[in-house]
Structure 1
Amino acid sequence: MKKIKKEHIIDYLRALMLTIILPVFLPGNVNAQQLSLAEKSVSSLGKENAVLKLLQGNFDVKETIWSSPTSKPVYNTKLIARRQMIGSVLQEFMYAAPGAANSPVERIEYISFNRIEGRWRSISMDIRVPVGLMPAASFDRGQESKIRLIFDPFPIAGKGTSVTGQMLRMDETINFEAPNHVIKEQHFILADGSGKSWLAHRYEYTKRK
């Protein structure tokens, strides 16, 4: 019997992986018709993510900030948000309006309803604060026109020259009873022993005509 070289076996296994195993994980492949009915159902928008399509477009944004429970509000009306659907995910880019005198703002957020888990998930980032990526999720599917997300706790930088920090908890409520006028509110709780929650951020979106 002719002896099979080791390298030939390796080449064969590689070819097997490329032709049989990998296509299962690649979108738009020839095996797509073999997806189960459940997988096809989950791939569709569904009731919740279909609602997100109504929130697409360009919005003028009024931001209100309370830096502490006793602080007076600070307003920023020089913001624009662009929203579009990517598959079943709503993508949002927020930036300073052209010609605005304040510092440029770059905030990104992605949100989608996970139909297997039965809850909303999002991830966001804001270059104004050095906290990195901020993942969040709801406890359940929520109401038809209101979503409440609970963020993973994250540290905020302390004051001074040394690198110190303090943990912060945050939740976010998105109210879109009127798709052309969306209000997003964020409540903070510092890990300072007080357990005090306060409205720290409000974004008010008005769709451009």
Structure 2
Amino acid sequence: MYPLHLALCLTAALAAAGAFVAAPAAAQSSPNENAVPETAALSAQVGAWTVVDTFWAHPGSAPSLSSGLIADRRMVGSLLEETLHAEDSRQPLRIDYLSYDAVAGQWRYVSIEARVPVAPMSASSFTRDPADRITLRFEPFAAPPIAPGWSGRLLRMEQVITRDGPDHETKDQFFILADGTATRWLAHRYDYRRRR
């Protein structure tokens, strides 16, 4: 069971991202009544995935590689829930939710990180991106003190999810630090491969 504060943070983050709260059982629609192609595309991602995380602390810096990560994905209503953990542990390193808002015509995303001291982060697409290439923009937030020169600076972040088939996906995270240079760089690449 996750700690209570994590559950409270998740509830607040989902509300901030515009995710729905389930209605009482009598008022809920049937699973296929409001189905959209984007939800079907999310459902196809259910299962376990092997993940390699590559991190670049600054533009041009040497990459740091983290392997042995597993992403377990399941559908929670119309949201794709992903729990990232080490292969030898069930302790969550990150929990995130991705959904498509058919009314607004945009993708919505919420991420809760356990590895770095940041609040729950929400993001959305600007347009109705295709399900195989989704660009999500986050609200600016204070950069965590995980690399020299980061602490106390505002951080802008964009995540591009690219699927090149049913068994491979990348999540590229581009950062811009408020350091006067407005330099955008690829800071994180999560490489996903479906486990068989």
Say if 1:44 and 1:88, in contact at 8 Å, map to a contact too: no
Say if 1:64 and 1:76, in contact at 8 Å, map to a contact too: yes
Say if 2:132 and 2:163, in contact at 8 Å, map to a contact too: yes
Please name the residue that 1:184 is paired with.
171
**Structure 2 residue 54 is matched with structure 1 residue 61:** no
Say if 1:42 and 1:115, in contact at 8 Å, map to a contact too: no
Please name the residue that 1:90 is paired with.
80
Give the SS at the match of 2:96.
Answer: strand
Q: Which amino acid aligns with 2:68?
A: K
From the superposition, tell whether residues 189 and 70 of structure 1 become closer, same or farther in structure 2 (CA, over 3 Å): same
Cα deviations by residue, 1:58-115 (Å, 9 ceiling, x for unpaired): 011011000111211111111000000111000000011117xxxx761111010000
**Structure 2 residue 97 is matched with structure 1 residue 110:** yes
Query: Unpaired segments of 5 or more residues in structure 2?
Result: 1-21
Return the alpha-carbon distance in structure 2 between the equivalents of residues 98 and 41 of structure 1.
35
Q: CA deviation at 1:44?
A: 2.0
From the superposition, tell whether residues 26 and 204 of structure 1 become closer, same or farther in structure 2 (CA, over 3 Å): closer
In terms of fraction of residues, the more helix-rich structure is 1
Q: Which amino acid aligns with 1:150?
A: R
Question: Which of 25, 29, 36 is the equivalent residue of 1:28?
Answer: 25
Q: Which amino acid aligns with 2:57?
A: S
Q: CA deviation at 1:192?
A: 0.8
Q: CA deviation at 1:194?
A: 0.3
Q: CA deviation at 1:42?
A: 9.8
What aligned pairs does 1:1-209 form with structure 2 within 5 A after superposition? 26-29=23-26, 32=27, 44-98=34-88, 106-158=93-145, 165-209=152-196
From the superposition, tell whether residues 105 and 73 of structure 1 become closer, same or farther in structure 2 (CA, over 3 Å): farther
Query: Unpaired segments of 5 or more residues in structure 1?
Result: 1-24
From the superposition, tell whether residues 60 and 158 of structure 1 become closer, same or farther in structure 2 (CA, over 3 Å): closer
Return the alpha-carbon distance in structure 2 between the equivalents of residues 42 and 189 of structure 1.
40
Say if 1:158 and 1:166, in contact at 8 Å, map to a contact too: no
Identity percentage of aligned residues: 40
May I ask how many residue pairs the two structures share in their alignment?
A: 170
Say if 1:105 and 1:128, in contact at 8 Å, map to a contact too: no
Q: RCO higher in 1 or 2 (8 Å CA, sep ≥ 6)? A: 2
Q: Which amino acid aligns with 1:70?
A: G
Q: Which amino acid aligns with 2:112?
A: M
Return the alpha-carbon distance in structure 2 between the equivalents of residues 183 and 130 of structure 1.
24
From the superposition, tell whether residues 111 and 92 of structure 1 become closer, same or farther in structure 2 (CA, over 3 Å): same
> Which TM-score applies when normalising by structure 2?
0.80
Say if 1:56 and 1:83, in contact at 8 Å, map to a contact too: yes
Q: Which runs of 4+ in 1 moved over 3 A?
A: 40-43
Give the SS at the match of 1:55.
Answer: coil
Return the alpha-carbon distance in structure 2 between the equivalents of residues 207 and 158 of structure 1.
32
From the superposition, tell whether residues 28 and 154 of structure 1 become closer, same or farther in structure 2 (CA, over 3 Å): same
Q: Which amino acid aligns with 1:84?
A: R
